[in-house]
Amino acid sequence: MDMKNIETYKNKTVLVLGLGKSGINSAELLLKLGAKVIVNDKNTPQKMDDINRLEKLGAKVITGSHPTELLENVDLMVKNPGIPYNNIMVATAIKRNINIITEPELAFEISEAPFISVTGTNGKTTTTTLISMMLNQNCAKGHAYAAGNIGIPLSEVAQKATKDDQIVSELSSFQLMGITELHPKIAVLTNVYEAHLDYHGSREDYIKAKMNIVKNQTADDYFVVNWDNEEWQNLSRLTAAKVIPFSRLKKSTDGVYVDNDKIYYKDEVVAKLSDIKVPGSHNVENCLAAIAVAKIQGKTSQEIVEVLHNFSGVRHRTQFVRSIAQRKFYNDSKATNMEATEKALAGFSGPVVLLAGGLDRGVTFEKLEPALKNVRAMIVFGETADLLAKAGKNAGVKKIIKTENAVTAVPIAFEESQPGDVILLSPACASWDQWPTFEVRGDKFIDAVEKLAEKLEDK
Q: What is the pLDDT of residues 133-146, one digit of tens each?
A: 999 999 989 999 99
As assigned by CATH, the class of the 104-310 domain is: alpha beta
CA distance 310 to 115: 25
Of 417 and 2, the one with more pLDDT: 417
3-class secondary structure, 329: strand
* Mean pLDDT within 43-49: 85
Give the domain ranges of the chain.
13-101, 104-310, 319-458
The pLDDT of residue 197: 61
Contact present, 96 and 173 (Cβ < 8 Å) = no
The reply to whether 13 sits in an annotated binding site is: no
The pLDDT of residue 195: 59
* Mean pLDDT within 102-127: 94
How many Cβ atoms sit within 10 Å of the Cβ of residue 36?
A: 19
- Exposed, middle or buried by CB within 10 Å (0-12, 13-18, 19+), for 229? middle
How many Cβ atoms sit within 10 Å of the Cβ of residue 399?
A: 13
Q: Which range has the worst mean pLDDT, 113-117, 267-271, 360-364, 379-383?
A: 360-364
3-class secondary structure, 305: helix
Contact present, 316 and 439 (Cβ < 8 Å) = yes
Q: How far is CA 233 from CA 5, 190, 264, 282, 424, in A?
A: 39, 12, 19, 18, 33
The pLDDT of residue 425: 98
Kindly report the pTM of this predicted structure: 0.75
CATH number for the 319-458 domain, one of 3.40.50.300, 3.90.190.20, 3.30.450.40, 3.40.50.10780? 3.90.190.20
Q: What is the pLDDT of residues 50-77, one digit of tens each?
A: 999 999 999 999 999 999 999 999 999 9
3-class secondary structure, 81: coil
Q: Which range has the worst mean pLDDT, 38-47, 187-196, 257-266, 287-296?
A: 187-196
The reply to whether 128 sits in an annotated binding site is: no
pLDDT surpasses 70 at 194: no
The reply to whether 4 sits in an annotated binding site is: no
- 206-211: long-range contacts at Cβ-Cβ below 8 A with a sequence spacing of 24 or more? 206/173, 207/235, 209/173, 209/174, 209/176, 209/177, 210/119, 210/120, 210/173, 210/176, 211/235, 211/238
The reply to whether 126 sits in an annotated binding site is: yes
Please give the share of the chain, as a percent, with pLDDT higher than 90.
80
pLDDT band of 196, cuts 50, 70, 90: low
The reply to whether 125 sits in an annotated binding site is: yes
- Exposed, middle or buried by CB within 10 Å (0-12, 13-18, 19+), for 87? middle
CA distance 23 to 77: 11
Domain 13-101 in CATH 3.40.50.300? The answer is: no
The reply to whether 357 sits in an annotated binding site is: no
CA distance 390 to 359: 16
The pLDDT of residue 1: 57
CA distance 119 to 239: 14
The pLDDT of residue 386: 97
pLDDT surpasses 70 at 199: no
CA distance 19 to 61: 9
The reply to whether 336 sits in an annotated binding site is: no
